[in-house]
Each structure stands twice: as structure tokens, then as C-alpha cells.
Structure 1
């Protein structure tokens, strides 16, 4: 990690990540598609984005459930190439995502399998940040947050979901949510990377 925890949020390059996978077991399942977009100084940078389809030669039903045909999947990048390209794009960015732990563990399983290392980047969960801000009083006057899905956060911030359940679409929707969270965080004293990325403990 090259960003000190005292770095102001506006200076950090956040990379909002989403991936579609063949299942929920990071050690066994594989990445189908990757979508990512950078957020710097509260702005979504559409010209700083990444999208890839990964070749999956088996488990076709788990691939097609994401709207990817078997032919499209077979024409995708080999896993080592996709992982290398994503790492080059990611650089030292701070990974952001909704329930991002699953994505990070799935990517790390791939990096360990192909190259023998794990990503060293700091990651930040939008759900953890939302719950911190709720505890800080950012949503005073509203009902307690009960929907923990990305759709639930879109509803919380009056964001109309678009292109849901694709990696690139979900990464963009998460980036829109993250923009709102950054503004609220600034009002509630969470102005540094360390304060922003604190794990939430119920």
C-alpha cells in the first residue's frame, strides 16, 4: 500500500471494482467478467476504467446466468492475461466495492494460483462505510438501514439502477453510491483514507 492512512480522501485514486463469478467459493470458482472505474477527488473518471471478459471453459450455466453466452466466454481472455491486465490498471489504487471481500478473495485466489502472490492494495467496503455514517448520524430522520444490497443503497441515495448485474454496470452504480458516501463522509469528519476505510464492527 502506497497511500498513507492520513492521506486526504481527495488525493486518493479509488478503483471501484465489481466482478461476476461462477459461484461463491473464491478457492474453487472463477471470474467471468471484471468491471472497474476510478474515482478521484469525488469525480468518476470514465476515461480511467477497465472491463474484461475471462475465458471460462466449464460451468456454462454459472456463466450464462450473468448474461454471457458460452461463445462469448470462450472468446474471453485467459485468466493469467486478464489478471495481469487488471493489476496493471489497478496500480496502487484503493479498491472500493459493495461487499468487496468476496471479489478481493476471488482475485487473490487467482493471483495465488497463477503467480504465487496476493494483492497488497487496501480495500474499502461501501456497506461498511454506509453503516459507519449511519452510526455517525448522517441519515438522521430516516429509518434504520435494513437493505444491505447494492439495490438497497441505490434506493437510499435515489439512484436509478441501470445495467445491473453486469460487472461494468455494477461498478458504475457502486461508484455513484461511493460519490454520495464521500460527500457525507466529508461532513462527518471522515476526511482521510484511514477514517474512510475503517472496518465496521456492529
Structure 2
């Protein structure tokens, strides 16, 4: 019995994702998610957007956006009309995660309150009977706290952009948020002297 547990055959996409960590990461991936709520066990991911940052450049052409189809019982509870009435094609949760992991590879993740995003993704992976994300991650709110020398103070994207004197988008979609986070990340990276 124990040998079956340790000799489990994982899907090819999961093996490829794990193998990517044998190489050094060459890019950052900024991620933003729309969820049905803040409970990582009960709520679900509705949309994910990501964009790559290499060096000091945001690679718009290398962006990623998808929306996830959930059963009727989940969508009835949603307050965000943008996602609920969206005409975008939607993927199953499993296909969305396969696409996301293929995009992420071994990149360093960047986000606003990134630990929540990681927990939500890990819950999806758990439902697929897989392991957890292995990517290193940086949170722009933690970076901002370090820059302004505060300790665990919550800052919205708007708060940070005002203090950094940069303009960000109107935040109408998860893609807008990912791009705004990428701009803030580049500014904070410069302020903190991160290569």
C-alpha cells in the first residue's frame, strides 16, 4: 500500500512544472485574481490575469488572462457583475490550472496580498490531488511597508500609487489590476534597490 502512495503517477503538466525548478528563474510573473470571496476553502477563483516582467520591462505581449466556469450554485452568490455576466469564454477549473502552471513555470510570483492568491491556487491543486505551488513570491504591499518603514500596514493599490506618485489604471478587470501591480512592483523594486 505504501509503495502505491509514493509511486503515484502524476500528470505530464505537473511533472513539467516541477522540472522547471531545476533551472534558475528568469522572469517575474505578476498575478491578479478575482474570487467569489475571501474564504480559501469555500470560495473559488473566477478569473486570473498575469503578465511577465523581465529586467525592468513589463512584457504586455506575454500576458495571460482566463476566466473559470463554476457550477450554478457558486455563480448565484457572486456580487461582481463583471465576472457573472461576462461573455468571455470560461475554462474548467482544472484546465485553467493546467494553463496557469504552464505559463508560470518557475517564475517568481508578484502580487498584492499574494499569500491569499497562492492559498486559493493551492486549494485548486488540492482538489486535483496535486502538491502546492513551489514558486518564490514577493508581495508589493510588504515591499511598500519596507520602503515607508511601517510594519504590516494594509495599503490599497491606490494608496501605494499616490505615495509613489504614479498613475495606475481604473481597475475594471483582473488584467488592469495585474498591469497596475506590475507598475508598482517596478517602482518599488527600484526604490528598494532590488536587481
TM-score by length of 1: 0.77
Q: CA deviation at 1:162?
A: 1.7
Contact 2:40-2:119 within 8 A present in 1 as well: yes
Equivalence for 2:64: 50
Q: After alignment, is 125-134 or 167-176 more displaced?
A: 125-134
Counterpart mapping for 1:1-202 below 5 A: 1=21, 12-57=26-71, 58-65=73-80, 67-70=82-85, 72=87, 75-135=89-149, 148-186=155-193, 190-191=194-195
Contact 1:32-1:63 within 8 A present in 2 as well: no
Contact 2:68-2:93 within 8 A present in 1 as well: yes
Aligned residues: 174
Q: CA deviation at 1:42?
A: 1.1
Q: CA deviation at 1:150?
A: 1.2
Q: CA deviation at 1:56?
A: 2.0
Structure 1 residues 80 and 96: alpha-carbon distance in aligned structure 2, compared to 1, 3 A threshold:
same
Q: After alignment, is 149-158 or 46-55 more displaced?
A: 149-158
Unaligned runs of 5+ in 2: 1-20
Whole-Å Cα distance in 2 between the matches of residues 54 and 119 of structure 1? 19
**CA displacement 1:111-142 (0-9 Å, x = unmatched):** 11114211111111001111122239xxxxxx
Q: Which has the higher contact order (CA 8 A, sep 6+)?
A: 1
Whole-Å Cα distance in 1 between the matches of residues 157 and 22 of structure 2? 29
The secondary structure found in structure 2 opposite 1:16 is strand
Contact 1:39-1:175 within 8 A present in 2 as well: yes
Whole-Å Cα distance in 1 between the matches of residues 22 and 187 of structure 2? 25
Unaligned runs of 5+ in 1: 5-10, 137-143, 192-202
The secondary structure found in structure 2 opposite 1:86 is helix
**CA displacement 1:16-75 (0-9 Å, x = unmatched):** 0000000101111110000000111011001111000100223335545151234647x5
TM-score by length of 2: 0.79
Structural RMSD (CA)? 2.5
